[in-house]
Structure 1
Amino acid sequence: MKRLLVFVLLLSATTGNAQGTLSKKKILETMRLCNAYFMNKWPDPGKPIVTNKERPSNIWTRAVYYEGLMALYTIDRQKSYYDYAVDWGTKHQWGLRSGITTRNADDQCCGQTYIDLYKLDKMPERIKAIKTSIDNMVASDKNDDWSWVDAIQMAMPVYVKLGALYKEHRYFDKMYQIYAYTKNVHGGKGLYNKEEHLWWRDKDFVPPYKEPNGANCYWSRGNGWVFAALVRVLNALPKTDAHYAEYLQDFKDMGAALLQCQQATGMWTVSLHDTNHFGGKEISGTALFTYGFAWGVRNGLLDKKQYLPALTKAWNAMVKDAVHPDGSLGYVQGTGKEPKDGQPVTYNSKPDFEDYGLGCFLLAGTEVYRLAGE
């Protein structure tokens, strides 16, 4: 009996120490450092982004950053964050890159932040363009717009946010119709492998597209986009919705599949089933998976014993291995659609866009913060 008691006490201490490696103070310090780096580098939120060509700064890459910033604002309500986001919307006249007639999910991604800012201060101009764009989609019979999985994260949360805001099921219904088409139809049988519970990146990547080792090609960040989208949908969708259970099952099934792909480093590689194909650490996918794991654990949807150690290891690995002293991030794969794109991915490499990697990191950090001890 005495030996059993000692064992239980040791086990409890070990578990407590493992959870104690997540410190609210340290997590917030890291997020503030990384965000300050970006805001200092981009003091004008309306400034165009110039890489191989000039693009307006309300494109999807920047919109993902603002998703992260708005998440950070929920736990660290600094006026400078709010003002920075409002300035971004104002300088783009709360518009979409290709106007209100666009059906492109990438162009609609900015609407997630516009809606969040509208909820904080109900100024009609903040929501007019994105609502009109989505209303056009809802009124259409077309459901095949999301032919690449990134689109699920870029646009799907906009629908659920509008549906929740206006208490109108037509947004939820249309969201599901487009999601179901991507999941079950695109590419012939859909982009979701119902056996392996992972997603092909787009309709050109379904079988027989293989990695060098013969496995199906599942791109890390592409699956991260879907996983994050399911978080954002489940977080706002009424549980009474007819498709809530399906989204939840997809989230849980993906979580289990992703857990098996985590590497000993704590991170995930760009190719989930072929770790030798442009192998090594990568944090945009890792951050999105960490975001989903942490949200799932916090809401009692993922088993804490399984997922808390995984997300703790992932977060600590990102902080230790990817965060530079100045707050910039290493190991972010540049834009693309498969493992070979956006290479090389190293500690010192700079992706073509620095914004979306930080956005993913801030999303992850915010949820991990909510789980952490003092």
Structure 2
Amino acid sequence: MKRLLTASFFALIMAGMTSCSVQKQSSAGKVNLPDKKEVLEVSRRANQYFMNKWPDTGKEIIGKKVWPSNLWTRAVYYEGLIALYKIDPKKEYYDYAISWSDKHNWDMMRDTYTRNADNQACGQTYLDLYEIDGKKNPERIKFVKASIDSMIATNKVDEWWWIDALQMGMPIFTKLGRITGEKKYFEKNYEMYAFTKYKHGGNGLYNPEDKLWWRDKSFVPPYKEPNGEDCYWSRGNGWVVAALAKTLEDTPKSDPHYQEYLKDYKDLLSALLPIQREDGFWNASLHDPTNFGGKEMTGTALFVYGMAYGINKGLIDRDTYLPVVVKAWNAIAKDSVQPNGFLGWVQGTGKEPKDGQPLAVDKQPDFEDYGLGCLLLAGSEVYKLK
């Protein structure tokens, strides 16, 4: 049954659609792309702040618990660092990533045979470094492959019960599929993705009506936001955007599920257009701007990454999305990245809009690494825009 939008949210959507329509019409003219030197400077500045603060790549992260430094938050940072390295190949970036991988023996977090995507996320960087060095060091992917092969050896496909897991896990399967040429990685990737999309939470975590994703079964209807709308967490949907962009990058177009990934990716991006904030950011709660509304960098950066990637690859309409990307990137560069490289407006770890709130330009999140990873992923694709 089609759900009714609240009057206030309907007005917001219509205003946003009008804005996007105007953007598309005006974008036939020249859109001023961010200056490449400035994009690089912003990315370098934020990254240098972090590298200066964390010179020891193996140092444990101490918060409410003690975490090894190859946990998922740090893994996302290194994904971003590798993306930066590919447009700005500084040896210090490469050495920093190699040092981190060496400190953890190129293994998953705590257990090679973990089935938890968060614990496997570090494997994305190991695979990237293996390829950067011309596939000359098979020990770099030994444990990644063993971990994923152990999952393929079973019939279980329900491990990705929260949408963040798609970004942590899917790119490992598709990278291994591309590197080895073995279809089993693409097949298992789809089986697990399909379970998340269609079955977790009862009928799946994807809502084809709104083209957005619930974070996990805790947020499927009848759960509602204060304004009566469904709860769509910005960063959670950002993780899905990133997962699909990376999956499209490595999955052959001949794969039987490529078109479904592409449709889900394009549909999700289209759902973001009318709800971009006037200042360029997206709210932490995508369909309830009154529930901890305000600037939020991580979800916004992941949306920028996914949209800029699509423009660069010719997957989405440039005239529609370029003004949105430029507006969002400019907002991040101006309002989030501070003169010393510190990132403001970063929502701390969690699973919903209220976590880590309230945000501020000078507030330190509980983990500062994944936000930087999101920024570097975005910057790397914005840099490539032509």
Give the TM-score band, short-chain normalised.
over 0.9
Give a deviation string over 1:280-334, Cα, whole Å, max 9, x none.
Answer: 0001000000001101111111111110000000000001111111001000000
The Cα shift of 1:359 comes to 0.1
| Distance in 2, Cα, partners of 1:91 & 1:239 | 37
Corresponding residue number in structure 1 for 2:43: 31
Selected match of 1:210 from 200, 219, 224: 224
Offset at 1:14?
Answer: 8.7
Name the residue aligned to 1:4.
Answer: none
Q: Which residue of 1 aligns with 2:252?
A: 238
Structure 2 residue 304 is matched with structure 1 residue 290: yes
**Residues 179-208 of structure 1: per-residue CA shift (max 9 Å, x gap):** 000000001000000111000000121111
Counterparts of 1:84 and 1:344 in 2: how far apart (Å)? 33
The alpha-carbon distance between structure 1 residues 245 and 14, as it changes in their structure 2 partners (threshold 3 A), is closer
Q: Tell me the distance in 1 between the aligned counterparts of 2:76 and 2:280.
A: 23
* Distance in 2 of aligned mates of 1:365 and 1:75: 10
Matched to 1:123, the amino acid is N
- Quote how far apart the aligned CAs of 1:343 are: 1.3
What's the counterpart of residue 183 of structure 2? 169
Q: CA deviation at 1:98?
A: 2.8
Question: Is 1:66–2:78 an aligned residue pair?
Answer: yes
Change in Cα spacing, 1:57 to 1:229, as seen in structure 2 (3 Å) is same
Aligned partners of 2:269 and 2:339: how far apart in 1? 32
Deviation at 1:346, TM superposition (A): 1.0
User: How far does residue 15 in structure 1 lie from its aligned partner after superposition?
Assistant: 3.0
Deviation at 1:101, TM superposition (A): 1.5
Question: Which whole-Å CA distance do the structure 1 matches of 2:340 and 2:142 have between them?
Answer: 38
> Aligned-pair distance for 1:19?
2.3
Q: Specify whether residues 340 and 165 from structure 1 end up closer, same or farther in structure 2 by C-alpha distance, changes over 3 A only.
A: same
Deviations 1:117-161 (A, max 9, x none): 111223122111111000001111000000000000001000000
| 1:44 equivalenced with 2:61 (yes/no) | no
**TM-score scaled to structure 1, two decimals?**
0.95
Distance in 2 of aligned mates of 1:180 and 1:155 = 14
- For the residue of structure 2 that corresponds to 1:359, the secondary structure is helix
Q: Give the aligned residue type for 1:118.
A: Y
Give the SS at the match of 2:360: coil
* Higher mean displacement: 267-276 or 48-57: 48-57
Equivalences for residues 34-113 of structure 1 within 5 A: 34-113=46-125
Percent identity over paired residues: 61
User: In the alignment, which residue of structure 1 is the partner of 2:373?
Assistant: 359
CA distance in 2: counterparts of 1:64 and 1:199, whole angstroms:
20
Whether 1:19 aligns to 2:36 is no
CA-to-partner distance for each residue in 1:21-72, whole Å, 9 max, x for gaps? x110100011011111011100011100011121100000000000000000
Q: Determine the C-alpha separation between the residues in 1 that align with 2:115 and 2:141.
A: 17
2:202 counterpart letter in structure 1: G
1:271 to 267, 275, 285: 285
1:140 matches 2:154: yes
Q: Secondary structure at the match of 1:15?
A: coil
Match for residue 274 of structure 2 among 260, 265, 276 = 260
Q: How far does residue 360 in structure 1 lie from its aligned partner after superposition?
A: 0.3
Could you tell me how far apart the structure 2 residues matched to 1:359 and 1:330 are?
Answer: 14
SS at match of 1:239: coil
RMSD value over aligned CA atoms? 1.3
- Give 5+ residue unaligned stretches, structure 2: 1-24
The reply on whether 1:123 has 2:137 as its aligned counterpart is yes
1:5 is aligned to none
Residue type of the alignment partner of 1:321: D
Q: Provide the C-alpha distance between the structure 1 equivalents of 2:76 and 2:26, rounded to a whole number of angstroms.
A: 39
Residue correspondence of structure 1 range 291-330 to structure 2 within 5 A: 291-330=305-344
How many residues in Structure 1 have an aligned counterpart in Structure 2? 360
Residues 306, 125 of structure 1: alpha-carbon distance in 2 compared, 3 angstrom cutoff: same
Distance in 2 of aligned mates of 1:260 and 1:12: 16
Using the alignment, how far apart are the partners of 2:377 and 2:40 within structure 1?
12
* DSSP 3-state at the match of 2:29: helix
Aligned in 2, Cα 1:13/1:189: closer, same or farther, shift over 3 Å? Answer: closer
Question: C-alpha displacement at 1:114, in angstroms?
Answer: 0.3
Using the alignment, how far apart are the partners of 1:354 and 1:111 within structure 2?
Answer: 20
Ranges in structure 1 where 5+ consecutive residues have no aligned partner: 1-10
* CA–CA separation in structure 2 for the residues paired with 1:238 and 1:251: 16
Whether the 8 Å contact between 2:27 and 2:323 is mirrored in structure 1 is no
1:151 corresponds to 2:165? yes
1:230-274 CA-to-partner distances (Å, cap 9, x unmatched) read 000101111000000000000000010011221101000100000
Secondary structure in 2 aligned to 1:204?
helix
- For 1:8, the equivalent position in structure 2 comes to none
- Structure 2 vs 1, CA of residues 191 and 295 (structure 1 numbering), >3 Å: closer, same or farther? same
Q: Distance in 2 between matches of 1:125 and 1:37?
A: 31
For residues 345-356 of structure 1, the aligned pairs below 5 Å read 345-356=359-370
- 2:81 and 2:117 map into 1 onto residues whose CA distance is 20
Partner residue, 1:3: none
